[in-house]
Amino acid sequence: MTGGMEARAERVGRTRQVLLLCAFLGVSGAGAEPLRYSVAEETESGTFLASLANDLRLGAGELAARGCRIVSDQNTGLLLLNPLTGDLLLGEKLDREELCGPTEPCVLPFQVLLEKPFQIFRAELWVRDVNDHSPVFLEREIPLKILESTTPGAAFLLEGAQDLDVGTNNLRNYTISANTYFHINVHARGEGNLYPELVLDRALDREQLPELSLTLTAVDGGSPPRSGTALVRILVLDINDNAPEFAQSLYKVQVPEDSPVGSLVAAVSARDLDAGSNGEIVYAFFYATERILKTFQINPTSGSLYLKIELNYEEMQNYTITIQAQDGGGLSGKCTVVVQVTDVNDNAPELLLSSLLTSVSENSAETIVAVFKIRDKDSGNNAKMVCSIQDDLPFLLKPSVENFYTLVTKTTLDRETMDEYNITITVTDMGTPRLKTQHNITLFVSDVNDNAPAFTQTSYTLFIQENNSPALHMGSVSATDRDAGANAQVTYSLLQPQDPSLPLDSLVSINADNGHLFALRALDFEALQAFEFLVGATDRGAPALSSQARVRVQVLDANDNAPFVLYPLQNGSAPCTELVPRAAEPGYLVSKVVAVDGDSGQNAWLSYQLLKATEPGLFSVWAHNGEVRTARLLSERDAAKHRLLLLVKDNGEPPLSASVTLHVLLVDGFSQPYLPLLPEAAAAAAQTDPLTVYLVIALASVSSLFLFSVLAFVGVRLCRRGRAGLEGGCSVPEGHFPGHLVDVSGTGTLSQSYQYEVCLKGGSGTSEFKFLKPIISNVQFQSTGREVEEYPAFQRDLGFW
């Protein structure tokens, strides 16, 4: 006994393992389309079915390496796998009727298990039926008792044959051997079975024919057809004129599928008016099928019908049962009981995916994400289902025919807002209690290049010191792209400037990857103070999107230009000599040093100072405007010739400077005869080449002619105006004015432009000028760099000493 209990416990443990393995395999293989193979029953073992390696898209050696094997919750010896070739072979000869019974089609599920790495594939073996069974009668001899008083046309149901084959190979017809008393009618029952009915053609006479034997033949639809026979032995009875009669010929009952075993299904009742043994009734199934005999049992005395096993609505919804009531005299009556199995909500809804997308491109129009079908094996309200998803998702469920649904996008998706969606499809039936099934779908939103790069600023201002080193990093621009992958990879470039004269390619370069800007060469503030250009940012999408930003480069000035002296000229020609009358008052304007600086700002602020003088203290220079003035009264003891060394300095860091030499000649009056040049001027003139001398002489001649013309014109005008009222009169001098006493260019740096009335002193008899006060002042110089512009206008105004 102990050994039996241990064996039983071992079988229970193995059963649990198999159930757990089946459940695990069922879960892991859910949602995948199974591999399907077909084989006819009775095929010899070892027959090649398919190349499993090709179907799994694996090499034959890879199957063996990954530990491939066949797993089934049925007989594992049905199929064999050759791990070397990857061929699927039939393990043994199959009997479809033994494996599936009347179920059609006959599908044997199995799984292909790969252990390294772990992977499961679902597969099915479809066993095709062959006509290998002939129709068989349960009883080789069918006894039939018929009263001799039976009238022609009476029908007698006979036992039907059973054919284990299905489809076209199943039972198709009945025939009876030739006779003059009976013929056969064939009727179909609710379960699809055919039953023969023996019909009496002429009245029987027991005294002439007490017994009759006929051969009943059942033929199937196979090719070639098979048949089976039974002997119908008919006994003609003496008159028992009352047969049992049922209260009703048809009983219809409804039984819930969850009814317990042993529960009452129905109670039939018949009565017989005869007495004695002819009135005793016995109830029994009339040639019931094997399924009915397994499912129901009947009390032969009371006619009560009970359940023997549990019902399953999903397997069988209706049972048609024929019950016979037979009396002691051999007469019988029959009724039909139709048992309708009612559904109980014991099956949760199922969701079967037909197609599924794992990713959807953003900005796509209405896109079908998934196509699936829902079903419930129950019926009625238990099979009515409601399908739904979360409300806060941009998706929509659209119902179709045959319980098909499509999951589509409600609006265009934006990856930048949400790049992944977890969608839960919930299917709930309307039964009591309600059952539901949920299926989760993860959908990724793939990127589309719908965002152009965006600069952090619409415009950038960069500052760079002039005289920079080449390849100097000036600054950076930055742009970001909200897309992903290649669509977010930004490339920077320089765009063609609006000013075509700007040589941008030789000034600036940009790093295409990070937007760093570099100066390609040294910049010169005096040549280029600022310039602007556009920078483009382009992504690598298809098509590529771009944006642009404006960059302004401001060149900062460096003190790299020394002051340049415009006056006095320092061109190596004859030095400039300023004439100063000895009667000049202190503060008399001797000359003005005019200088400019190519820099800007404080680098161009100029200051002037006197570095060296022949006689210190005689002259001074104003620091801000460069005016050279007398510091005191002149005396006879002062030397006639003076040499002043002036320094012009800017305000840069470090400061740059230039020096200029100014020659001053003290004269007693403007009528003083020609004064020889200073030794330095003579030496410079001696060193001048002949061409320079010729140019100077030509310029002096033209200037002299122009001067004389102007003096004559001015003299005539003044004499005409003052002829009537001016004392002493003013007339045009008869003598000529010495050209060497007039300084045309030397007075161009005075802070004011002077015009004088030129007249002869009345009654003097000399040729001296009358030195008068200026009557017009129209030009004033400032040390702002405008001296160059105003200097020619200043030269047009004549001043005389």
Q: What share of the chain is helix, strand, coil (3-state, %, to 5)?
A: 15, 35, 45
Tokens 């289902």, residue located: 385
Tokens 């004859």, residue located: 574
My answer on whether omega of the bond before 117 falls inside 30° of 0, hence cis, is yes
For the chain, 801 residues long, the average pLDDT of each consecutive 10-residue run is 39 38 39 76 79 78 77 72 78 76 79 82 80 81 88 88 77 88 85 83 84 90 84 83 87 92 93 78 92 94 93 90 90 93 89 91 88 89 91 92 91 89 94 91 91 93 91 93 90 86 89 94 88 93 92 90 85 72 89 88 89 88 90 87 90 89 83 44 47 71 82 79 45 36 36 37 37 35 36 34 29
HSE at residue 321, side-chain half, CA atoms within 13 A, is 31
d(CA 319, CA 341): 8
| Three-class SS state of 173 | strand
Give the pLDDT of residue 241.
67
Q: Are 663 and 576 in contact (CB under 8 A)?
A: yes
| Three-class SS state of 186 | strand
Give the pLDDT of residue 60.
66
Please, which residues have CB within 8 angstroms of residue 583's CB and are 6 or more apart in sequence?
A: 634, 669
Q: Are 295 and 311 in contact (CB under 8 A)?
A: yes
Does the CA dihedral 81-82-88-91 come out positive or negative?
negative
Give the pLDDT of residue 85.
80
Q: Are 754 and 799 in contact (CB under 8 A)?
A: yes
d(CA 678, CA 665): 9
Residue 391 CA: distances (Å) to CA of 310, 382, 395, 426, 440? 42, 25, 9, 12, 15
Give the pLDDT of residue 268.
94
Q: Are 621 and 604 in contact (CB under 8 A)?
A: no
Does the CA dihedral 160-164-167-173 come out positive or negative?
negative
Q: Are 325 and 346 in contact (CB under 8 A)?
A: no
Please, which residues have CB within 8 angstroms of residue 405's CB and are 6 or more apart in sequence?
A: 371, 372, 373, 374, 387, 397, 398, 399
d(CA 231, CA 69): 52
Q: Are 443 and 361 in contact (CB under 8 A)?
A: no
Q: Are 703 and 744 in contact (CB under 8 A)?
A: yes
